[in-house]
Amino acid sequence: MQATARALCEHGYSRLRVRDIDEYFGKSRQLINHYYDGKDDLIEAVLKYLLEEYERGIAVGDDVDPEQQLHSYIQEFFYGPDIEDFDHWAFVTALIELRSQAHHYPRHQELLMENYLHLRGILVAIIETGIQEGDFREVDADMFANAILAVISTSRMRKVCLDDDEAVENGRQILDAIILPQLFREPDRD
Amino acid sequence: MQATARALCEHGYSRLRVRDIDEYFGKSRQLINHYYDGKDDLIEAVLKYLLEEYERGIAVGDDVDPEQQLHSYIQEFFYGPDIEDFDHWAFVTALIELRSQAHHYPRHQELLMENYLHLRGILVAIIETGIQEGDFREVDADMFANAILAVISTSRMRKVCLDDDEAVENGRQILDAIILPQLFREPDRD
């Protein structure tokens, strides 16, 4: 374990291998608790690396319409980026454990908050583009972003922590039936 | 700490004092991790006690209309029951920590799941009564219950773990502006 930690620190942020991260995050709370204190750089490096990977999976660009972008964003956050050897659910598990302890570690709290605001910013931008282009209704983009992320967050937590196999399906259903219909402009209304 | 744990075990479930629980749950993860293994009875007793206290705070009865019941349920789960000396947020913090580790402890997972299904059942019943009485639209009660609980759960988690002071306000806004309006029958429509 010491060896893994040293390897991660020595590799540095840009050269972290997915396998290292899996190994690092795969080892239950004992390991994570063990590395909490004073290992902020490591946690920061891993969070940043994975943030980039998640971001890469979101379809963007002028040729992708906001509705497609929104669906790819949601897909990415439910099921994770398509990286070889990457275990999305192991990462989500580790993230939830890290988060549940973050009130003891101001720096982790700060990192998780930055991380969240960054990812949330992407979602707000997608919604605002959709509104500008007339695809979406003129909603409060911040509020809808919060709502979408709340549903995804709870679904992931329930699947991972409570082994609730219906959680992801339930989350998608809430988005598809309650939240997204209020966002998309229906052709026959408004 | 040993003394507290012994006291809790000896008092038994029905005689747990709120102060004991506060003391038990107030002490960060070290304590909780310490008591995880083999302390299922204690965790079970504390969960059951608090479940009853939360439930007691929900207005029920034939003279309370479903919309009022729903509001009191939501109020209860955002802000906690009104028990003397009870720190709702300390309890939520402990619950989130317990949950984030539950995949290591099948019995805790089971208890948390039972707990959730019980509380969710109350919400489903309120919504179904509202539908029967014509106050609510004919929605999928399970799905709306999931949606309401997802928003509350994320708000509580964000407030406690990430020190996000806007989280509860944001959660209420999502319920009031996106989810509940689809549940309540508007006088001028349908």
pLDDT at residue B71 greater than cutoff 60: yes
Distances from the Cα of B114 to the Cα of A76, A161, B12, B111, angstroms: 30, 14, 20, 5
Highest mean pLDDT among A44-58, A104-118, B147-161: B147-161
Substitution target in B47, B160, B178, B183 with the highest count of A β-carbons within 10 Å is B178
**Which of A33, A103, A153 shows the shortest C-beta gap to B154?**
A153
User: What pLDDT was estimated at residue B120?
Assistant: 93
Q: Kindly provide the b/e burial profile for residues A38-77, where b requires at least 16 CB atoms within 10 angstroms of the residue's own CB.
A: ebbebbbbbbbbbbebbeebbbbeeeeebbebbebbbebb
| Residue the block writes with tokens 């207005």 | B59
**Contact residues, chain B, for A112 at CB < 8 Å:** 161-162
Under 8 Å CB-to-CB from A164, ≥6 apart: which residues? Answer: A158, B113
CA distance A152 to chain B (A): 9
Q: What percent of chain B clears pLDDT 70, i.e. is strictly above it?
A: 68
Q: Which of residues 5-44 of B touch A (CB under 8 A)?
A: 28-29, 33
Output phi, psi for B71, to 5 deg.
Answer: -65, -40
Q: Give the model confidence (pLDDT) of A13-56 as tens digits.
A: 334 444 444 454 444 344 444 444 445 666 676 677 767 777 77
Beta bridge partners of B184: B136
Residue A93 Cα distances to A56, A104, A143, A162, A181, angstroms? 21, 18, 26, 11, 30
Check residues B190 and A113 and name the one with the higher pLDDT: A113
Q: Say yes or no: A94 contacts chain B, CB-CB below 8 A.
A: no
pLDDT tens-digit series, residues B48-59: 776 777 777 776
Does the ipTM exceed 0.85? no
pLDDT, one tens digit per residue, over A69-97 is 999 899 988 988 776 666 788 778 878 87
Whether residue A78 lies within 8 A of chain B, CB to CB, comes out as: no
* For the ranges A147-151, A160-164, B48-52, the one whose mean pLDDT is highest: A147-151
Residue B75 has pLDDT above 50, yes or no: yes
Q: How far apart are the C-alpha atoms of B51 and B118, rounded to whole Å?
A: 9
With a cut of 80, say whether residue A169 has pLDDT above it. yes
Distance CA B92, CA B88 (A): 6
| C-alpha to C-alpha distance for B18 and B169, rounded to whole angstroms | 28
Q: What is the DSSP letter of A15?
A: G
What pLDDT was estimated at residue B70? 94
Gyration radius from chain B CA atoms: 18
Q: What are phi and psi of A64, to 5 degrees?
A: -105, 125
B101 by DSSP, 3-state: which? coil
Instruction: Report CB contact under 8 Å: A143, B178.
Output: yes
